[in-house]
A and B are shown apart, each in its own frame.
Chain A
Amino acid sequence: MRLENWQSLFLKEEVENPNFLIFFRIAMGVLLIFYFYGIQSNLFLFVNNPLISAESQRMLIHYNTIDLDQLLKWGQMLHFDSQNILRILFVVIWIAVVLLLIGLFSQWAAFFLLIISVAIQSNGYYFLYGADSFIRIALFYLILFPADRYFTIRNRFRTQNTNTLTPYKRLFQIHLAIAYFFLGLNKAISKDWWNGEDMWKSLHSYYSQPLFDIDFLGDYPSLFVLLGILTVSIELLYPIGVWFKKTRKYTIFLIICLHLFILWQMNLYLFSTLMIILNITCFCFADKNKVRVGIEN
């Protein structure tokens, strides 16, 4: 692909329909309520003599991030005790989540929530998993997108600017495609995804309370082989599947089924919901406005 074509992929203003952004902002707002509620209810994992000491966790973080301890220290310099600082912090977090949800200064709200998420995650490095990383990615895109320009309270007070949505939507789509491709590729190098062992393991994670008991399926190992190969194939072929319009809806259907399966059988509610939101945002909304398409037709 020539450079001009490559650049036109991002700069040619093809995305006119802002519905994906409205969905993304509101869905993420709702999800973040659950995310921060979960963190608030488990704060003892992160601060004030946490399960795993912050010093130990910091040894493994090679990033210069502002962590929760640092924020508490700054607060203590202003003569606040740590409990009060945490209370204030969560009040501000909830305000930011509401601002994001209603679309008032949503980019700034996302920026603040990203900084705070990283601070909390830096204090709980051992408790991080896929959902935390993808929350950071989603907040990053909420900063980039002009999410408060459409279907928001802000529109009532300011005239709507026309902003191109194409560049970051394309970037987001490619980012997600790369994510799935590498997920598939990393699974493909291990023989246990091809002989059903990893699928068997995945469905028996000790923290999950599966919807139904699948132990009896252990007598039919070929089923796990099939499911393992199917998972690797869906993820590896995801970029191709979503690139072409003809295969897009089937690919998205399969990937959403995969995440629903993960949600029900592995109980990764937050992760699965988040991935479904990202998939719908990136690939389930037409680029053109339907009204306009109708007129053109």
Chain B
Amino acid sequence: MKIFTTNKGFQLFIIYSTLFLVLSFNFFHFSNNIQKYRQSQSISKNVSSITRTPTIKNASFGLGSLLKTYSFYTGINTNFSLFSPDVSNQCFWLITVYKQGDSLLVKPEKELFHPTYEGIRFESYTYTFIDYPKALLNTDYQLNKNRSEFSIAQKHVLDSIFQQKYHADSVKSQLYFYFLPRLKDFPNTNAQIKKLK
């Protein structure tokens, strides 16, 4: 580890390579986000028609892969667009909404659990609303959580879905999806903002 602090040439190498990679990754992510944002603007009018097939790539052993691996280890590849929710509008879940008293019950459809894509379904499915509550007809929903926003804190969501999958009869009331009218619609809707617990 001495080399990190004693060798000036090595220090400069670390400095320049880190800066180069940080800037490259971020420009790349930024241009990607612009593209995603444009797409999301054009598709948001027709949400139900979106389908996307997950792209699956295998890791290779070229220079590019080496740089990616190094960048992942050092956090250099961090996408600093964290928490730009509307950029991630492409991610939808196939769900059904039921009204239950004052609350809403959301039920993921069986098609959500496509056997081929088990485990990666969150990034690529559309959602449809059955029994769409009238009070919210003019509002937009926030079910477009993509994986960049996933965290352990959201475990209960995953939990619910998996329970839904394996014990479909027992968990209807355990779903924790959350509906939020858009700010511009807030004063005009009677929808209550509440978590379903």
Contact = CB atoms under 8 A, between A and B. Distances in A.
Contacts, number: 225
Given A56-B118, A192-B85, A206-B176, 20 more contacts: A45-B152, A45-B155, A52-B158, A62-B59, A64-B69, A107-B1, A118-B73, A126-B158, A129-B150, A131-B151, A136-B74, A138-B75, A140-B74, A144-B5, A178-B22, A180-B80, A196-B183, A200-B183, A201-B142, A206-B177
Interface residue SS majority, chain A: helix
B43 to A, nearest CB: 15
Contact of B180 (A42, A60, A201): A201
B164 to A, nearest CB: 13
Interface in B110-161: 117-120, 122, 142, 147-159
Given A51-B162, A52-B158, A178-B23, A215 B193 contact: yes
Contacts of A181: 80
A175 B58 CA distance: 29
Contact of B68 (A63, A135, A215): A63
Contacts of B159: 51
Interface stretch (A81-89, A163-171, A241-249): A163-171
> Which 3 A-B residue pairings sit nearest by Cβ, starting from the closest?
A56-B119, A206-B178, A136-B75
B109 interface: no
Interface stretch (A26-34, A70-78, A93-101, A217-225): A217-225
A193 B83 CA distance: 11
B14 interface: yes
20 contacts: A11-B8, A51-B158, A53-B119, A57-B120, A59-B56, A60-B56, A63-B72, A64-B66, A64-B69, A129-B149, A138-B75, A140-B73, A179-B78, A182-B29, A182-B30, A183-B80, A189-B30, A189-B37, A206-B142, A215-B193
A59 B117 CA distance: 10
Nearest to B38: A189
A107 B122 CA distance: 38
B21 to A, nearest CB: 10
B155 A57 contact: no
B11 interface: yes
B50 interface: no
Interface of B: 1, 4-6, 8, 11-12, 14-15, 18-19, 22-23, 26, 29-30, 33-34, 37, 54, 56-59, 61, 65-66, 68-69, 72-76, 78-87, 117-120, 122, 142, 147-159, 162, 176-178, 180, 182-184, 186-187, 193, 195
A151 interface: no
Contacts of B14: 144, 168, 171
Contacts of A221: 183-184, 186
Interface of A: 7, 10-11, 38, 42, 45, 51-53, 55-57, 59-65, 107-108, 111, 114-115, 118, 125-131, 133-140, 143-146, 161, 163-164, 167-168, 170-171, 174-175, 178-183, 185-187, 189-193, 195-198, 200-202, 204-207, 215, 218-219, 221, 224, 267-268
B86 A64 contact: no
Contact of A201 (B22, B56, B85, B156): B85
A161 B5 CA distance: 10
A174 to B, nearest CB: 7
A164 B5 CA distance: 7
Contacts of B73: 65, 114-115, 118, 136, 140
A186 B87 contact: yes
Contact of B82 (A45, A115, A183): A183
B74 A197 contact: no
